[in-house]
Amino acid sequence: MRKVFITGGAGFIGSHLAEKLLASGHRVWALDDLSTGSMENIEHLVDREDFDFRFGSALDEALVAEYVDRADVVVHLAAAVGVRLIVEKPVHTIETNLGATTAVLDAAARKQKVVVLASTSEVYGKSTKVPFQEDDDISLGATTRSRWAYACSKAMDEWLALAFYREKGVPVVVTRFFNTVGPRQTGRYGMVLPNFARQALLREPITVYGTGEQSRCFGHVKDAVEAVERLIHCPEAVGEVFNVGTDEEVTISELAARVRAAAGSDSEIVKIPYEEAYAEGFEDMPRRVPDVTKLERVTGFRPRTPLAQVIDDVIADQRARLEAGEV
């Protein structure tokens, strides 16, 4: 049994990870300021003796140090999330991501605690070398485009974590999540699949931003947390970066059509220019496909949940939310 501290523990991925670790017999502490997380995600866990939730910010250095000191492993998930939030609040994005990561790494360095840092496929920027490999060069957009603030801040998180590993011996593992989806994810911050599912169920227009020809790979959250748990127990992972996601690619237009069909909906699919959805000059990546060979080689695990199952699970979750009266 290990004692695990999860920042962002009431969030989408964090709550699923807490469940997974508890089921494996670990002790879990979760920290969340509920800015994007929700108590609903962990209500079924709060009465357990092996789980504790603390309301607070990962920017609170004293609070973070207290829980890092108790834990064997820290999984740092707390971050600004969602394209809309990132575009609209770049200051919050940069300060949250860099500040919280610094607090976690500083605390972990005092007693050499294992840190699993959640990063993102966004760090690959505008790279056209597909599939993306962990040691590929990155190409970010101009600093005048706030859309790239998140990618840059998460790349700095990675550099900082790896610097702590090389200079101070902190055992860190970096995970780059690719479009992770599933139950409990909301569309509030621009998450495309839950938005499509909700629009289809309500028979509202399904809004596709841009041309719809941009493609993504949507991995199930259950695969993501399986990968994280395996990396926690893998000494060979220390000091390394891992893509976490599926390599089943789909265009956003095709995704909208598949969601509509799976939901039994007659919603119209409408394309909206990026300039109307976000801001003038918004840039997006045409393709985002991970190479997960390294993850499979080191952990023996490769995310394989098919997109059809991912879509069905998200639709079922959104249907349950609507039936419960969630807006």
Which residues form the catalytic set?
A: 150
- Could you tell me the CA-to-CA distances from 131 to 21, 119, 178, 227, 284 in Å, in that order? 30, 17, 12, 19, 17
Q: What is the CB neighbour count within 10 angstroms for residue 4?
A: 26
**Residue 273, token pair as written in the block:** 């220019």
Please report the sign of the dihedral spanned by the C-alpha atoms of residue 121, residue 293, residue 299, residue 107: negative
| Cis status, amide bond into 131, omega within 30 of 0 | yes
Residue 138 sits at φ, ψ, to 5 deg, of: -115, 150
- Could you tell me the CA-to-CA distances from 41 to 90, 185, 249 in Å, in that order? 26, 10, 28
Cα distance between residue 225 and residue 46, in whole Å: 19
**Residue 309, token pair as written in the block:** 């199952």
Residue 201 sits at φ, ψ, to 5 deg, of: -65, -35
Instruction: Report which of 190, 318, 186 is spatially closest to residue 263, judged by C-alpha positions.
Output: 318
What does DSSP assign to residue 139? B
83 φψ region: left (φ > 0), alpha (ψ -120 to 50), beta (else): alpha
Residue 17 sits at φ, ψ, to 5 deg, of: -65, -40
What does DSSP assign to residue 183? T
Residue 248 sits at φ, ψ, to 5 deg, of: -85, 110
Chain CA centroid to CA 146, Å? 19
Cα distance between residue 173 and residue 108, in whole Å: 13
